[in-house]
Structure 1
Amino acid sequence: MADDALRPWNWEDPLELAATVDGFTEDLARVEKLSAEFPAAVLDRSHFDRLGLTGIEFAAFKTAHREGLGTDIVSLTAADGSRTEAGQVYRVDDAAYFTEMDITGVLPVADDTVDWVYAEHLIEHVTLKAGIAWLTEVRRILRPGGLLRITTPDLRVYAEAYVSGNSFFGKHRRRVNRALLGVAPAMAERGAFMFNQLFYVYGHRWIFDEEELRYALTSAGFADDAIAVRSFREGARPDVADLDQVLRNDETIYIEATA
């Protein structure tokens, strides 16, 4: 891609880059077809049973889980110009179900409704206070014994790489550059840049390690002995763990908590 096409992506200006990423997000939220299924101000177990669903994937326009409901704060836009609205469940491209939800507020889901919840690289995009409030809501909507699996960049991985100068930064930089080839200029090779982009790029608000995740989860009502660190695509429910994306597995901590 020509250099002119890369200019909107400025690694050194988080505010400018945030606007660029918002534009890419809107593009990702475009689908071919939306079919309104039914309105529901609050989803309960009967709604999930009606659609054959068992859980929710947050920050997903089109979840890959056959029994999952995808949700995001961003509206989906179909080829005919129709858009999703809050309080309505949709069928997306005849392949997945979706509804809008804002994780910074009360989730429109009844108590003890879902068997599992999954969220990849989401909690770092809100403040710690908002993250704990969202986890409290997740704990509320999970059925007894239900599973939460969250993934997020691991501060320890970045801190150890910065201090020790190990190979993580170089490998991760090459991985990101390949993923953004033709979209963004190459990331800088400087260690301080690699460390800073974790905090200030992509709209991140709070970065976690295991201790901080345990603090957030226990503050939200999960028992400490019900929290476990997992590995990429390994967990108590293989169908949920399989939602992990390869692109970010080198920097990610995987945590599960049972309600």
Structure 2
Amino acid sequence: MNPRLHAVLRPPVLAVNTPLARRRTSRTLASTPRPLRLELGGLAPREGWVVTNVNAVTRHFLDATRTWPLEDASVSHVYSDNVIEHVPLEAGRTLFAEAFRCLRPGGVIRFVTPDLRGHVDRYLAGVSPQGDPEAAVYEQYGLTVDHPLDWVRIPIASFGHHTGYVYDFETLAVELERVGFTDVTRSVPGSSDHPELDGLDQRADEGGAQMAVEATRPGDVA
């Protein structure tokens, strides 16, 4: 869709759809057996999951940076692909805390997000992004990828990330541990030791440009 047309249409569509999508979310969450699997920022239905978003056309509206409409320990898995880099740190901290509250003991969360350190390492090594398979997605979006510094400029300045918070693994691990998560580990993009989370990632072919991070709410599975 033409960006200008999208900008014009989004507010009225959002105003009409959001109340409907909120009510649909309430009904879906109330009727889904516990523990449920929750996806944040998803774009398409996923079998066995409640998929939520805040975009203008989502079926299930959920602002994950506010209190979730779920009881404690009601979720077994949380999955979020390329979402947390769009929200400021304090909002992200609310998201992490709500995920911890709603996950049952032994529950697992998985984030996929740009790896800022991976981008910086490529810049410092002087790697040109032109033609690099891990930068191909940037070229597809029509972004300038002419020089090594674009490895750093793009994840910080593009896609609205400048209003959010971009992570490296160490920083994300500290933030997750801050709210109580343990066993914070990096996974191979597109792969997980947890069958429920295996094969979900949409951008696994970007290699080191993306990182997949999992963490566990401590305690025995009920």
- Whole-Å Cα distance in 1 between the matches of residues 92 and 119 of structure 2? 21
1:49 is aligned to 2:33: yes
Does the residue aligned with 1:100 lie in a helix, a strand or coil?
Answer: coil
- Taking the TM superposition and a 5 Å limit, the aligned residue runs for 1:133-148 are 133-148=94-109
Offset at 1:132? 1.3
- Whole-Å Cα distance in 1 between the matches of residues 166 and 25 of structure 2? 36
Q: 1:54 to 1:74 in 2, by over 3 A?
A: same
1:210 is aligned to 2:169: yes
- Number of aligned residues: 206
Q: 1:157 to 1:101 in 2, by over 3 A?
A: same
1:109 is aligned to 2:70: yes
- Whole-Å Cα distance in 2 between the matches of residues 197 and 258 of structure 1? 31
Offset at 1:208? 0.9
1:193 is aligned to 2:175: no
Q: Which amino acid aligns with 2:178?
A: S
- Taking the TM superposition and a 5 Å limit, the aligned residue runs for 1:222-241 are 222-223=181-182, 226-241=183-198
Structure (1 or 2) with the larger CA radius of gyration: 1
Q: 1:151 to 1:39 in 2, by over 3 A?
A: closer
Q: Which amino acid aligns with 1:211?
A: E
Q: Which amino acid aligns with 1:48?
A: T
- Whole-Å Cα distance in 2 between the matches of residues 133 and 48 of structure 1? 24
Q: 1:38 to 1:102 in 2, by over 3 A?
A: closer
Which residue of the partner structure matches residue 26 of structure 2? Answer: 40
1:150–1:255: 8 Å Cα contact kept in structure 2? Answer: yes
Structure 2 unaligned blocks of 5 or more: 15-19, 218-222
Q: 1:134 to 1:190 in 2, by over 3 A?
A: same
Q: 1:23 to 1:58 in 2, by over 3 A?
A: farther
Offset at 1:130? 1.2
Does the residue aligned with 1:197 lie in a helix, a strand or coil?
Answer: helix
Which residue of the partner structure matches residue 52 of structure 2? Answer: 71
Does the residue aligned with 1:198 lie in a helix, a strand or coil?
Answer: helix
Offset at 1:159? 0.7
Which residue of the partner structure matches residue 89 of structure 2? Answer: 128
- Taking the TM superposition and a 5 Å limit, the aligned residue runs for 1:141-156 are 141-156=102-117
Q: Let me know the Cα RMSD of the aligned residues.
A: 3.3
Q: 1:59 to 1:188 in 2, by over 3 A?
A: same
Q: 1:116 to 1:202 in 2, by over 3 A?
A: same
- Whole-Å Cα distance in 1 between the matches of residues 8 and 171 of structure 2? 31
- Percent identity (aligned): 26
- Whole-Å Cα distance in 2 between the matches of residues 199 and 141 of structure 1? 30
Q: Which amino acid aligns with 1:115?
A: S
- Whole-Å Cα distance in 2 between the matches of residues 138 and 22 of structure 1? 31
Does the residue aligned with 2:150 lie in a helix, a strand or coil?
Answer: helix
Q: Which amino acid aligns with 2:39?
A: E
